[in-house]
Structure 1
């Protein structure tokens, strides 16, 4: 070999530094995954917050119903609105369940299942007058005249106990 053959070689050189933008595809995937995780966590937090607020809002609505009943004295309207309130409460408290379509004994059983860990007076009310008030009485022409058990003040107290039990966070929520 002649020394002239090596004379044409250049000295070693470092490659150009990597630009910081645009990032490599792996960083894009990581950023997308982090954004999706943040969105899912935010949606979960929002759902749990709404479920936690449901009993408090229902208690406020129950207070309005009581005031209207004391002002008007219409037992039938009170029972119907109370049944609607309990159903709306259950739908907002446990949105993953199919509570909206339940009627009669199925609806009553659903409430009993969700309140299985409730205090004894709440469970007794669901087995008695409150259970009748949410399953049967709203669909009768005049529940105040057809039932001797109907006492709107007791129903309101039972419903308030049920809702306070939900506000305490001890009802079976699905995470």
Structure 2
């Protein structure tokens, strides 16, 4: 007494599926993520750009140390280290500072004021002043190596600036 039920006889429409979600425009969270990635990329790029001067100066001083260990003249290596240090100081301070005109004790005072290392006031960094004028045999390899290491330490203590 139960008649057979046939669903095809019902007045129903076919199932209607919604359209696929479009990929554009992205949701708000994706915009935030994209902005964050861009900001991080810019910060890292600027930081790398500012650090390039430090890397170049350190590389130049390492080349001087390698030349010194290879048998180069110690007085000439100290003179080269002084040139690298002065160029680096002029680069990080820009044209406004009068670093290029500093000489003698004023140069060492400037270096000492930019770091806490006492080497520039009383130590082996005094050799930066008179090594180019000394006889080549009066500057030992150990003194020249110490001056180069002090210069590398000074460069490492300087903040990266635009």
**TM-score (ref. length: structure 1):** 0.56
Alignment-derived partner of residue 125 in structure 1: 119
Q: Distance in 2 between matches of 1:133 and 1:55?
A: 23
Aligned pairs for 1:35-54 (under 5 A) are 52-54=51-53
Structure 1 residue 58 displacement after superposition: 0.5
Provide the rounded CA distance (Å) in 1 between the counterparts of 2:146 and 2:100. 25
Superposition TM-score, scaled by structure 2 size: 0.60
In the TM superposition, residue 143 of structure 1 has moved relative to its aligned partner by 5.6
Q: In the alignment, is residue 152 of structure 1 matched against residue 144 of structure 2?
A: yes
Distance in 1, Cα, partners of 2:50 & 2:142:
30
Which of 1 and 2 has greater Rg? Answer: 2
User: CA-to-partner distance for each residue in 1:69-127, whole Å, 9 max, x for gaps?
Assistant: 11123111111101111111101111121100110111111112222xx3xxxx22112
What value does the CA root-mean-square deviation take over the aligned residues?
A: 2.9
SS in 2 for 1:99: coil
Long gaps (5+) in structure 1: 1-44
- The answer to whether the 8 Å contact 1:65/1:82 transfers is yes
Quote how far apart the aligned CAs of 1:148 are: 7.5
In structure 2, the residue matched to 1:62 is 61
Structure 2 unaligned regions, length at least 5: 1-44
Match in the other structure for 2:111: 111
